[in-house]
Structure 1
Amino acid sequence: MNATANSDIAIVGMAALFARAPDLAGYWYNILNRVDAIGMPPPEWGAERLLDPSSEDLARLYTCHGGFLGELSRFDPRAFGIMPVSLTGGEPDQFHALELAQRALADAGLGEGGYAPERTGIILGHGIHPNRASVNGVQHGVVLDQTVALLRGLLPHLDAAAAAQIRTLLKQELLPLDTDGIPGLVPNMMTGRIANRLNLMGPNYILDAACASSLIAVDAAMNELRRGNADLMLAGGINTSTPPLVYMVFCRLGALSRNSRIQPFAAGADGTLLGEGGGVLVLKRLDDALRAGDRIYAVLKAVGQASDGRAKGLMAPRLEGEVLAMRRAWQQAGLDPASAGLIEAHGTGIPLGDQTEIEALRQVLGARRGAIPDVALGSVKSMIGHCIPAAGAAALIKTALALYHRLLPPTLAGEVNPRLGLEHGRLYLNTETRPWIHGGPAPRRAGVNAFGFGGINTHAILEEAPGADPQPLAAFLGRRWCPGSELLVFSQADRPALLAQLAQLHQRLDQEPALDLHTLAAALWRQRGADGERLALVAADIAGVQKRLAVALDKLADPCRERLQTRDGLYFNARPVPGRVALLFPGENSQYPDMLRALTIEFAELRRGFDFLDGLYGGERDQAPSQAIFPPPTGLDAEAQAVLQAQLRGMELGSEAVFAADRALFQLLSALGIRADALLGHSTGENAALVASGMPQLDEAALGASIRAMNALYRGLEADGAIPDGQLLSVGALPLDAARAVLAADPRLHLTMDNCANQFILFGPREAIAGAHEQLRQQGGFCSVLTLDRGYHTPLMAPMAAAFRRLFEDVEFVASATPTLYSCVTAAPFPAAPEAIRDTAAAQYRQPVRFRESIENLYRDGVRVFIEAGPESHLSAFVRDTLRGRPHLAVACDDRRRGAGEQLRYLLGALFAEGVPLDLDLLHAGCQVAEHAPPVAPYLSTAIPLIQPSATVIEHVRHVLDSSTSAQPSAIPVQPSTPVVNEPAAAAVAVESVPTPTVPVSRHPGPATALTGHFELMQDFLAQQERVMAAWLERRRRS
């Protein structure tokens, strides 16, 4: 133990339960997929009685929408040694908190006995408002006696025994209140129960700071660790039940959205919506966590707190208080707020609050650097609603996962509110899931805001944990990160065995149409049979699987059928013995905005490649390369968009971006078990092929230095006017002989690329290109002028080639036997001698690209499988055109129509069927193939208990009344009351209309009439109580 006042705190475990998110993985999956979990409450909540948008009555609601748990509110008491009877009248929050605490410890790898009880504690944020247990206590302790007293007042001849009997009958209709349910009446029993069941002997208590509760609980837990009072702390926030009374208060304040939509920072935002849920984090000192080898989601640096002081109003946000909390946090951490890359905002959707928060952030983060915003902004409330005391836990967990997985999570919003002025600051509203590319020496950092009613403001700073990459995203989620196609593979020794497997699966899916597709794909990969005949299919759902299985069963019934391939992803080979495999690396002009984004989100290999690129120049450039490759989805005006597009098209970033993508895809293909026999780079793609071959002896630092040196040489030559410019003309549908005739007629023209039988590229001055364009068009060619304007691969680039050749003298080269590196300069393998390697590597800049000839020679040397490892799919098309009519497979890692994430599955399916060795464990890491689904825990109701006598009880009460007296009581004058059907339903004391029983009418209407009058009187009495409460709230609001 090495506790200090400034010790960094590691988050080593987490658990979450929010609307439509039963667990931590489900919560993160929903966030990444922009799932809107807002909806109507469960039927027992009583929305149909309460909803009346036109009413001004406190007990009527203009919206009931929110992020409700609904069917996810479940708890198995037996797992914790709790009597099931305790649940009936208990407080649901206490039971959910217990399970979340246990889950969080399990997530940290700390099961029973995995921690020192006397050094472990728990602090939770929790709101103190009426709940199922407390209202049940009021019903037992107040309402029952009140009801009987009023009855005796209405019926003077009702004796004590009859009154007691009626009380007993009504009490039976309530939830039980006994020693098992009493803990629900004591709020801090929440953490006491957890300490009792999980054997925690450190501090345990709850605190209430409204919406800031979770962050203050975490701050308190951090202080326990820093003072050395504990070695392990659990902290978070719980709000798993939101009764109607809370909605009544928020409606009265006008804080809820009348559109029933929560849209923080959006132009259409008109208020917030509430949410249910809870989150618990397991905290340790960072040094202890590193020493123990714990998985660390993120590092907590500091939590700043500040109050609003004397503000305009108790409920109004104050800019100065928010700014003070943020600055205190960054000062405590000793960090520059300019280093933040993500802000998880308080962002409730209330316009005034959102505008105040943006201004506070603007003051703390500083001015925009360059033309592009660089700090992502979001609010998880847009998806799950405002969980009040648990809101901070939801935000912290989201942010910790963002840092752990190196992703920028999305927020839900339509058009950005123009009044926020985001186009002028560092913030942009991040509405899409995007990779968090970061190449600087400092770790990724994020800030989390939580501002509570009453003017309590908190800001937490989180930082990326030191150490290795996280587990694969699929392993964490147990499925693909987004809905999409899955790859199913089959291999059997012979055709009958394969057909039997396909038929068996087809029949099973008929019976189990809800089978999880990702789990099925994992099971088929892990249980594949002997290699003989192979089939692969790609489908997005079970119906798609069934469709492809039916085609396969039909086509493969023909024993003469040896191959099958369909456009929708069905691949079969009866003799899967592949030829040699070549990887093809594209060069400049294959880059495009958001290229390979889905793969970069899914696989660390891609993200590391772009991290490397961002780290090349530090702060030397106005914008990081990733800002042009993965541009912000909002916050860009026309000028900023033009800047990014120009950067991505430019020589420097364009070639660097493609190099990074090529190299990253090579790493991914290697992780998937793909081993190439040959490598070939097209244009500047030869640099990526050269590095992949291992010929240049360069580590990461030396490679970065070489790239910087090459770009410095290029910029110097460009400044000296040594880089010729002109135009590039792409010509299709004509043979190369047509180009030769044009070239012979005008010496200013140069052949730069011979790509395939139906495409070549010419370069020359604009006038010469215009003449060639017209001449070749008249011959039937399809001609188009490209955006690039440099004379690469022509003798005009000799000065640059010579400069690079000198630079290569500082790089050690060695020959590579496998894979064989081919060059488009010679259309042959690279030479073995280091000097000859340098000559060939430099010559590509002044020699035409002979891609067509190179493919022919690769084919001659036995290559039959061509995999394009880069953005776009141009090279695959060139290969297919060149080898048309000859057996081969040419397939790309990317497809802009499908998206790279989908295309990878098609690529792997085609390779599997072809017999190429693969390792698909990376796709299915963490997927648990269970024989049976886990049992479903009992439903845990959060409904407010009401006195709702059943028809039988009503008849019994009538019988008691009739038996106790035959005298008709005199009428008691009462104030006119509103009919029951129009009265508001329950809030704190749950006023609800009593259902009319379908029973025979009593022959003695006197007591029954009095009983009905009593209930009407009770309704009127409670309605008056509500009106008093409404008036009090109104005075509070105006004060």
Structure 2
Amino acid sequence: MSNQSYGDNAIAVVGMSCRLPGGVDGPESFWDLLVRGADAIGEVPADRWDAETFWSDDPAAPGRAVARRAGFLDRVDGFDARFFGISPREAVAMDPQQRLVLELAWEALENAGVVPGRLRGSRAGVFVGAMADDYAALSRRAGVEGVGAFTSTGLARSVIANRVSYLLGLTGPSLVVDSGQSSSLVAIHQACQALARGEVTWALAGGVNLMLVPESSVVVSKFGGLSPDGRAYVFDERANGYVRGEGGGLVVLKRLVDAVADGDDVVCVIAGGAVTNDGGGEGLTAPSADGQEEVLRLAYADAGIAPADVDYVELHGTGTRVGDPVEAVALGRVLGCAEGRSGALSVGSAKTNVGHLEGAAGVVGLVKAALAVRYRRLPASLNFRVANPGIDLEGLNLRVQTELGEWPHDGDGDGDGRGGGRVPVVGVSSFGMGGTNCHLVLTAAP
């Protein structure tokens, strides 16, 4: 298709919800945080764990993490069990990720203008990305004496999605995706495919991630992935690791033709996407530029959009010494230096604002990208000063978005991003540490 048309399998985003660090309780407050260029990273809340006990500036210190800062939610223990028809005993046994996804599902449907109670029996799917099991680790501290009637369902990762289907009476696929850090974007891609195939009439998709025990931060620290100073220096020479974050988000998806027919408020359109794996390389967790190039080429071929027409890419962008240069090279080869491109490709990462939400990172990037397309503005990617010496920004024709800006390539100068009849195009990337890559292509609503 051309940059001005939509394919038969185009998917509309008609509702969104998110809960993120910095007091973000929905898409509009997230947009406010992004527009302000705010950094929501802070100290470990006192009710989580004793940061001093599990922190050390020595990476080799046993049982210690090198980072004491991350992106935390204000609270994770608040839950109106009665509202969702859940008994107090069962609520206590439930992984808070299950509780949060229930709330996010309700809020996403309300954001879409849908009455949740009227959905029973609809052929709808629930696709949730998640990779953390912190509550299971916390529960095991009580030993076998702490096991009860609700432990099995309370700790099962699959039930994160199944509870939503049960609550709303949805009969479509209901599943949790774990592809590592790309989980939530892969879940959204799977939802889009189910819609395109006619398996479901609409879908809820996204991801969740909560940091409930210090052990998970110690694990990431020993892997060598954490930034000691709690800042994500994406594409910057100071890149020294990523900053952990928690929260989640969900989007409500429908086929574009159905959304238009139903009169829905379409936030943006998912024109296409792809999922691949690096298929081997220097190591299990070493990213591959060739593998990332492949997922980009497949995604834009699926969307029917020329790589030269992409205005902005929301990066996987972790701020690691190894990952950033690999991602930059792949983007430059496929998009930045694409034949016919006018000007440098703008890139940025929400991880500089709220941290890396790991299994939920992809949906955070997608919500940011969707809001950017809707409001025709590009928020700043924080903490960038001088490019990583392994990244030739000029040669790759890339530009880090360091300030809040109007939409690029606005041909008629009115700030709406539609100059010359062009429809804004944004890419969203998310990569798992085991090599599972996902890229989705977003465009503006008709």
TM-score, scaled relative to structure 2: 0.91
SS of the residue aligned with 1:440? helix
Q: Tell me if structure 2 keeps the 8 A contact 1:326–1:459.
A: yes
The aligned counterpart of 1:34 is 37
Return the letter of the residue paired with 1:30: L
The aligned counterpart of 1:15 is 17
The structure that has the greater radius of gyration is: 1
Question: Hey, which of these two has a bigger chunk of helix by percent?
Answer: 1
Q: Tell me if structure 2 keeps the 8 A contact 1:255–1:271.
A: yes
The aligned counterpart of 2:358 is 388
Tell me how far apart the structure 2 counterparts of residues 365 and 289 of structure 1 sit (CA, whole Å). Answer: 30
Tell me how far apart the structure 1 counterparts of residues 121 and 291 of structure 2 sit (CA, whole Å). Answer: 38
Report sequence identity in percent.
Answer: 35
Q: Tell me if structure 1 keeps the 8 A contact 2:43–2:69.
A: yes
SS of the residue aligned with 1:48? coil
> Which of 177, 182, 189 is the matching residue for 1:212?
182
Q: How does 1:225-304 map to 2 (within 5 A)?
A: 225-304=195-274
The aligned counterpart of 2:405 is 434
Tell me how far apart the structure 1 counterparts of residues 106 and 282 of structure 2 sit (CA, whole Å). Answer: 43
- Ranges in structure 1 where 5+ consecutive residues have no aligned partner: 142-170, 467-1039
- Ranges in structure 2 where 5+ consecutive residues have no aligned partner: 1-5, 411-416
Return the letter of the residue paired with 1:37: A
Per-residue displacement from partner, 1:736-784 (whole Å, max 9, x unpaired)? xxxxxxxxxxxxxxxxxxxxxxxxxxxxxxxxxxxxxxxxxxxxxxxxx
The aligned counterpart of 1:110 is 114
The aligned counterpart of 1:188 is 158
SS of the residue aligned with 1:122? strand
Q: Tell me if structure 2 keeps the 8 A contact 1:92–1:241.
A: no
Tell me how far apart the structure 2 counterparts of residues 341 and 133 of structure 1 sit (CA, whole Å). Answer: 42
The aligned counterpart of 2:413 is none
Q: How does 1:133-172 map to 2 (within 5 A)?
A: 133-137=136-140, 139-141=142-144
Tell me how far apart the structure 2 counterparts of residues 465 and 370 of structure 1 sit (CA, whole Å). Answer: 24
Bigger RCO (CA 8 Å, 6+ sep): 2
Tell me how far apart the structure 2 counterparts of residues 460 and 226 of structure 1 sit (CA, whole Å). Answer: 15
Tell me how far apart the structure 1 counterparts of residues 8 and 431 of structure 2 sit (CA, whole Å). Answer: 24
Q: How does 1:603-752 map to 2 (within 5 A)?
A: none
Q: Tell me if structure 2 keeps the 8 A contact 1:368–1:426.
A: no
Q: Tell me if structure 1 keeps the 8 A contact 2:120–2:169.
A: no
Q: Tell me if structure 2 keeps the 8 A contact 1:134–1:184.
A: no
The aligned counterpart of 1:465 is 445
The aligned counterpart of 1:454 is 434
CA gap of 1:211–1:418, structure 2 versus 1, over 3 A, is: closer
Tell me how far apart the structure 2 counterparts of residues 187 and 368 of structure 1 sit (CA, whole Å). Answer: 41
Residue 249 of structure 1: how far off its partner (Å)? 1.6
Residue 17 of structure 1: how far off its partner (Å)? 0.6
Return the letter of the residue paired with 2:362: G
Q: Tell me if structure 2 keeps the 8 A contact 1:37–1:67.
A: yes
The aligned counterpart of 1:363 is 333
Q: Could you tell which deviates more after superposition, 413-422 or 206-215?
A: 413-422
Tell me how far apart the structure 1 counterparts of residues 400 and 7 of structure 2 sit (CA, whole Å). Answer: 35
Tell me how far apart the structure 2 counterparts of residues 331 and 369 of structure 1 sit (CA, whole Å). Answer: 15
SS of the residue aligned with 2:274? strand
CA gap of 1:29–1:366, structure 2 versus 1, over 3 A, is: closer
Residue 57 of structure 1: how far off its partner (Å)? 3.2
SS of the residue aligned with 1:37? coil
CA gap of 1:114–1:108, structure 2 versus 1, over 3 A, is: farther
Residue 177 of structure 1: how far off its partner (Å)? 4.0
Return the letter of the residue paired with 1:12: V
What is the RMSD of the two structures over their aligned residues, measured on CA atoms?
A: 2.1
Tell me how far apart the structure 1 counterparts of residues 151 and 338 of structure 2 sit (CA, whole Å). Answer: 56
Return the letter of the residue paired with 1:346: H
How many residues were matched structurally? 429
> Which of 54, 58, 65 is the matching residue for 1:54?
58
Residue 42 of structure 1: how far off its partner (Å)? 1.0
Per-residue displacement from partner, 1:882-907 (whole Å, max 9, x unpaired)? xxxxxxxxxxxxxxxxxxxxxxxxxx
CA gap of 1:332–1:53, structure 2 versus 1, over 3 A, is: same
The aligned counterpart of 1:311 is 281
SS of the residue aligned with 1:238? strand
Residue 183 of structure 1: how far off its partner (Å)? 1.7
Per-residue displacement from partner, 1:148-167 (whole Å, max 9, x unpaired)? xxxxxxxxxxxxxxxxxxxx
Residue 73 of structure 1: how far off its partner (Å)? 5.5
SS of the residue aligned with 1:461? strand
CA gap of 1:138–1:47, structure 2 versus 1, over 3 A, is: closer
Return the letter of the residue paired with 1:445: V
Tell me how far apart the structure 1 counterparts of residues 322 and 60 of structure 2 sit (CA, whole Å). Answer: 23
The reply on whether 1:81 has 2:114 as its aligned counterpart is no
Tell me how far apart the structure 2 counterparts of residues 114 and 408 of structure 1 sit (CA, whole Å). Answer: 37
CA gap of 1:137–1:256, structure 2 versus 1, over 3 A, is: closer
Residue 211 of structure 1: how far off its partner (Å)? 1.0
Q: Tell me if structure 1 keeps the 8 A contact 2:90–2:154.
A: no
The aligned counterpart of 1:379 is 349
> Which of 94, 98, 109 is the matching residue for 2:102?
98
Q: How does 1:957-1036 map to 2 (within 5 A)?
A: none
Return the letter of the residue paired with 2:274: G
Q: How does 1:780-929 map to 2 (within 5 A)?
A: none
The aligned counterpart of 2:324 is 354
SS of the residue aligned with 2:429? strand
SS of the residue aligned with 1:338? helix
Q: Tell me if structure 1 keeps the 8 A contact 2:235–2:384.
A: no
Return the letter of the residue paired with 1:318: S
Q: Tell me if structure 2 keeps the 8 A contact 1:10–1:289.
A: yes
SS of the residue aligned with 2:271? strand
SS of the residue aligned with 1:94? helix
Q: Tell me if structure 1 keeps the 8 A contact 2:184–2:361.
A: yes
Return the letter of the residue paired with 1:446: V
Tell me how far apart the structure 2 counterparts of residues 300 and 371 of structure 1 sit (CA, whole Å). Answer: 22
Return the letter of the residue paired with 2:398: L
Q: Tell me if structure 1 keeps the 8 A contact 2:41–2:69.
A: yes
SS of the residue aligned with 2:122? helix
Return the letter of the residue paired with 2:430: A
TM-score, scaled relative to structure 1: 0.40
Tell me how far apart the structure 2 counterparts of residues 327 and 254 of structure 1 sit (CA, whole Å). Answer: 31
SS of the residue aligned with 2:86? coil
Tell me how far apart the structure 1 counterparts of residues 183 and 309 of structure 2 sit (CA, whole Å). Answer: 26
Tell me how far apart the structure 1 counterparts of residues 422 and 343 of structure 2 sit (CA, whole Å). Answer: 19
Tell me how far apart the structure 2 counterparts of residues 465 and 325 of structure 1 sit (CA, whole Å). Answer: 24
Residue 310 of structure 1: how far off its partner (Å)? 1.9
Tell me how far apart the structure 2 counterparts of residues 366 and 237 of structure 1 sit (CA, whole Å). Answer: 29
Residue 66 of structure 1: how far off its partner (Å)? 0.8
SS of the residue aligned with 1:31? helix
